[in-house]
Every structure is written in C-alpha cells, then in structure tokens.
A and B are shown apart, each in its own frame.
Chain A
Amino acid sequence: MGVTPLESARENLADVAAEVACAVDSGLLGELWRTSETRAWGLERSEFEEIVCAVGRRANFGLAAGERAGKSAQREFYLGLRLDDLVLAQSCARGNEQAWQQFVTAHREPMRRAAIAITGSASRGADLADLLWAELYGLNERDGERVSPLKSYRGRGSLMGWLRTILAQRHVDQWRRTGREEALDGMDPPAAETDTPAPPEDTDALGRAVADAIAKCAAEERYLLASYYLDGQTLAEVARVLGVHEATVSRRLQRVVKGIRKQVVRNLERQGLSPRRAREALETDPRDLDVNLKKLLQQTQVESFQDRAGG
C-alpha cells in the first residue's frame, strides 16, 4: 500500500544485493535443506536458507577476508557445519517450544556438568549454568523481543562445545573481575631479575636477539610457548586444545625452543658478537631467555581480533 516505484526498485535492489553478497550455490542450498528438512523444527525453507547464507557470509565460508569462495569452498564449509545443531539453536532463539524442549533434554545436564568442571565447584557451577539457561531462554528483551544468545550460534563446532566455551568465558571474565579484589596468590608474578647480570652490552644484544627470534616464530609456536611456559599448562592440557597427542606437543616445544636458541645465537653474531661469545651469552645465564620470553609474550595485544579477521 502506497509503495512508490522508487521504493519498490530499492527493495528489489536490496534483494539482488543480498543475493549477490550471499551468492551461495542454489543446488547446494537445496541439498542442505533436504538433509535438514525433517528436523527443521518448523523452519520454512526460506528461513533456513537465510540462516545458512548469513552463516556462510559472516565467516566468508572459512576463507581469509577478501577471498572469494567458489562452489567447492562453499560446499566444504557447509559440510563442516553442524546443521542439526544450527537449526535447533536458531529454532530455539525464534521461540519454538518443541525445539526448546529438545534443547533442554539434550543439553541441560551436560551443561551443568560442564559448569561444575569449569568452576571446580558444584554450587558455583550450578549458579553459572542456571544463569546461562535464563539467558538462553531469552529472559532479556530488546525492543520488545526476546534476545537469546543461541541466535549467535552458527554451527561451527558442536552446540555443546559452544555452550562449554560460553560457560568458560563467563567464568574467566567473572574470575578476572573479582580476582583483582582477592589474594594475589593466583596472579602471575613479574619476571624475576637475574642474580648475576651479564655485561650490559651483551644483555642488550641478547634482548634484541630474543625479541627478534620470537617475532619470527609462527603463531602456533608462540601459542605453545605462552601456554606451556607462561600459563603453566601441562603438555596434556595443551594437547587437548590443539587436538594432538601430548608427545607431539612435547616434540614441537623442544623444536621451538631449539629453534629460538639457534636464532638467538645467529642474531647475536649478526650484531657483531663472535660465535663463542654469542654462545656464552646464552650459557652464562640461560634464564635470560626465559625472562625475556615472558616479557615478550605478556605484551598486550592492541589490535582487536575482529579487526584482523575483517569481520
């Protein structure tokens, strides 16, 4: 009623723009719908496609920002999604009671157990899980509409894993807020000063050499160093996160440390130290490397993740 040709044309253009931006192969969309249709919790096909397109678009089909996803990349991305979980979560977020019942049946107990495991306390775990349940149901409202965090689940990894991660985030953020007011036992002490400092010129050279060596490490290597040396995680804990065996983590750590040592010696030589003096700079007080490593890895990241992800 009362739609001007200009408005109509704008709407059409918006539709076309959305389609171009999404540009998901229609055959693939149909295939995905067929696999999810029977468990779509009343979602219409158009709603399903809208959700799926939004998920793909937001993640740029798992590719780096700016890369264009071809059919095969799109297919690989969508086949890696947990479509069942995605449809269930989105249906819950849209207020489907049947979907919600299914969600409660499948996840309430595991979520409580996860919260207890994360907090290490039955009472605090139960509180944490209950608080999240209330939010998930959508007790918070925005512009008169229920808002559920489930809407932000996009099927990358399991729904239960996503819930665990949210519980862990809430716990860590809560702990970090209250931790400042508590005892300092759990806080990372500042790096200790060395007892027998090396000659100042060598220490400076060593500092620069270590900083350069660490800067050359790959992201995974820096993650290994930070988790193991800075956070004090065990090999098994690091392995669990990376999905590899702890022996693999051990080997990689050894390789990284060895590589850094070699690079440091090389850097020292480049700065004019003789090979012998360069080796001595490390051997005189090997804790220098550790200390500097901590300082380097403790540097705060200024750039946000979203900025780098291009999201």
Chain B
Amino acid sequence: MNQRTQFDAHPEAEVLNGFAEQALGAAERELVLGHLAVCARCREVVALAAEAAAAEMPVAVAPARKAWFGWRMAWAPAMALAAVAVLAVFVYVRHRDAALQMAQIEAPVKPSAELGVPAPGLVAVAPVEQAQVTRLAEVKKAPEPVVYQSASAGMMSEVNSVEAAAPPPAPMVETADKAASYQMAEVRAFDQASAARDAAQAEAQSARATQSRMKMAAASAAPMEMAGASTAPAPAMRAMAAAPAAVRQIATLPSGQTIVSSASSGALTVAIDAGGEVFVSRDRGQHWDAVKQQWTSRAVHVEWKAAAAAFELANDQKRIWASTDGAIWTQQ
C-alpha cells in the first residue's frame, strides 16, 4: 500500500519529542521505550535533542542535586530564623507592655534603671526588623519571580523562611499591591517604634543624671510603640490573607477548583488546585494547561526557587520534584 522509506521503521519526531517531554500516555511511552531499547539511531536522536534542550536551559537538570540539597538545608537557617523571630516578638510584646505600664504608672519614679539596660529581647528585635526591611526592599528591586501562596501557606512561609516569603505580585493583583503598601506601612511603623525606642534607650543612658529628661523620653516612646505595634500589623495581616483570594478570583483553573498553592516566574505560572491537580499557564494565568502527573501521591505545594531557576513541587509526603517549564517534573 504505502511505499515505505527507510525511516518508516522509526517513530516520528513528534513521538520522540513527546517521549522526551513526558507528553505521551503510558501505552505509547512503553512502545517508544521498546523501540529505543533496540534502535541506536533513535536513542542518539533523543539524547542529542535532550542535550540541545539542556544547553538552552543550563540550570534545568544539571544542578538538580544542588537544588535538592539547598531545599533540605534551607530548613535549618529558616527554622533558626523563625525561632529568633518568635522569641523576639514574644519578648518585644512583653517589654512593650511593661514599658507602657511603667510610662503610665511608674515613669515619674524609676524609669531610668529599666530603660537604661535594654531587655535581651530588644537585641533580637532589631535584626528581625532589619530582615523584614531587606526583604521588602528586594521585592521592590526585583518583582519577579513572584510566588503566590494560599493564605495559610503564605503566612507560614512568612514566619518560617525569609527565602520562601511571598513577595506581592505587583503587576497582576491590585489587592497584593495593597498588601505591599500595608507591609511597607508596617515596616515604617516598626521603624518609627524602633527609632523611638532606640532614642529612648540612648536618652536613658545619657540622662541618668537628669531625671526630668528621662521622664520625657519614656512618656514619648510608649505611645509611639503602641501606635506601631497595634495598628500596623492588623491591616497587613488582612491584606496578606486577601492577596491569595484575589489570585483565586482572577486565576480560574480549568478544574473549577480553588488554588491551594501557586508560583510564578515571568509569564509562567504553576498552580495546584484543591484536588491536587497541577496546572501551568504560560500567559500570566489567562490560560491553563493541565500537567500530567509525574509525581507520587498528591501535590500540595509549589514554589519558585530563584537559585535553581526552577519550580519545586512538594507532594504530601514531602518529596520534591523540580521543573523549569512547569510541564516536565524531575524527582529531586
């Protein structure tokens, strides 16, 4: 019937590429593997094409081990930082309450001894605040890659890891812009409170001889601390919780389910819905393609790792897969 050429015996370029890009079904894949096992020509074709693809994206596969290592090791400093942050906030709140009580009740009598020696917690508060400022400065400098997180996941990341913190997706979500401005307001308020506190401490040290000056410092520092601590975090937290909701509204997945985790780099966005299905969008969330499952169990979290220039997907057993294009995932 059809005249056969010498290459009819081989799979077409389409099929070989589909195999290399994990786009074939199980039956077809098995068929191609069977052919590759006995055909040196097609093995060479697939290997060369894969090599060219890797050359186009040098970080795609080569540093996979490093990325895996980085992922695991990232928990140690992140947990340490989280512990310091929690301790600092705890001590800060206690100290603020104490300072307020002193300002209201005992300020005229003996504030100098208390404020002259900074509480241990205050030493730790400064670096945490510095970290927040640095992080937000980075967001301003480099808006991409952007990582969307669900409300809970995003907030956990905020506490657990500076690296995993979710910078607000400025160009896409208006609410996220508000989140950024709230966060900046929070930082400014913290800065004011911090400056006032530092000023108060300096004043206290230098004015041990002059009791009257210390009274003024204590009286002015306390209300500013109150303003910074009580008003700023509330809208910031609300906005942080609202940002993923906005993403959910805008980015409707084909499955119709809500997004539980998503991450973006440039126009590329990967999202996981409530059913554990993974979708990828190449046009900033306007259109979504379902990603064939290449991981075990259920996908629960995805994030963009700038260091590896790859997305990392975690399943519910905390196993990690990496991808540069959101479509092909490699176990780490």
Looking at the complex, which of B8-16, B136-144, B208-216 is the stretch in contact with chain A? B8-16
Q: Which residues of A contact B332 (CB under 8 A)?
A: 245
Q: How far is the CA of A305 from the CA of B33 in the complex (A)?
A: 11
What is the CB-to-nearest-CB distance from A37 to chain B, in angstroms, rounded to a whole number? 11
| Known contacts A156-B18, A167-B49, A236-B62; A301/B35 CB under 8 A | yes
Q: Which residues of A contact B47 (CB under 8 A)?
A: 227, 231, 233, 237, 240-241
- A161-175: which have CB < 8 Å to B? 161-162, 164-169, 171-173
Q: How far is the CA of A113 from the CA of B58 in the complex (A)?
A: 13
- A39-90: which have CB < 8 Å to B? 59, 62-64, 67, 76-77, 79-80, 84
A238 and chain B: residue at smallest CB distance: B47
Partner of B17, one of A162, A173, A226, A246: A162
Partner of B51, one of A117, A176, A225, A297: A117
Contact with A along B1-31 (1 / 0, CB 8 A): 0001001111111111110111111011011
Chain A interface bracket (under 10, 10 to 19, 20 to 34, 35 or more)? 35 or more
Q: Which residues of B contact A98 (CB under 8 A)?
A: none
Decide yes or no whether A259 CB sits under 8 A from chain B: no
Decide yes or no whether A254 CB sits under 8 A from chain B: no
Decide yes or no whether A285 CB sits under 8 A from chain B: no
B37, A223: Cβ atoms closer than 8 Å:
yes
A307 and chain B: residue at smallest CB distance: B9
B18, A301: Cβ atoms closer than 8 Å:
no
Decide yes or no whether B290 CB sits under 8 A from chain A: yes
B49, A35: Cβ atoms closer than 8 Å:
no
B64, A245: Cβ atoms closer than 8 Å:
yes
Decide yes or no whether B294 CB sits under 8 A from chain A: yes
Decide yes or no whether B93 CB sits under 8 A from chain A: no
Q: How far is the CA of A110 from the CA of B55 in the complex (A)?
A: 10
A172, B44: Cβ atoms closer than 8 Å:
yes
Q: How far is the CA of A173 from the CA of B332 in the complex (A)?
A: 35
A304, B45: Cβ atoms closer than 8 Å:
no
B282 and chain A: residue at smallest CB distance: A84
Decide yes or no whether A239 CB sits under 8 A from chain B: yes
Decide yes or no whether B292 CB sits under 8 A from chain A: yes
What is the CB-to-nearest-CB distance from A138 to chain B, in angstroms, rounded to a whole number? 17
B17, A165: Cβ atoms closer than 8 Å:
yes
A63, B43: Cβ atoms closer than 8 Å:
no
B4, A172: Cβ atoms closer than 8 Å:
no
Is chain B's interface secondary structure helix, strand, loop, or mixed overall? helix
Contact with A along B130-174 (1 / 0, CB 8 A): 000000000000000000000000000000000000000000000
Q: Which residues of B contact A243 (CB under 8 A)?
A: 20-22, 294, 328-330
Q: How far is the CA of A167 from the CA of B330 in the complex (A)?
A: 25
Partner of A219, one of B13, B30, B289: B30
Decide yes or no whether A100 CB sits under 8 A from chain B: no
B4, A304: Cβ atoms closer than 8 Å:
yes
- A210-232: which have CB < 8 Å to B? 219-220, 222-223, 225-227, 230-231
A171 and chain B: residue at smallest CB distance: B48
A297, B25: Cβ atoms closer than 8 Å:
no
Q: Which residues of B contact A231 (CB under 8 A)?
A: 40, 43-44, 47
Q: How far is the CA of A35 from the CA of B281 in the complex (A)?
A: 12
A237, B50: Cβ atoms closer than 8 Å:
yes
B41, A172: Cβ atoms closer than 8 Å:
yes
5 contacts between A and B (CB under 8 A): A84-B282, A113-B52, A117-B56, A164-B49, A172-B45
Residues of B within 8 A of A (CB): 4, 7-18, 20-25, 27-28, 30-31, 33-41, 43-56, 61-62, 64-65, 68, 254, 282, 287, 289-290, 292, 294, 328-332
Known: A62-B28, A231-B44. 5 other contacts (CB 8 A): A114-B55, A165-B49, A172-B48, A245-B68, A301-B38
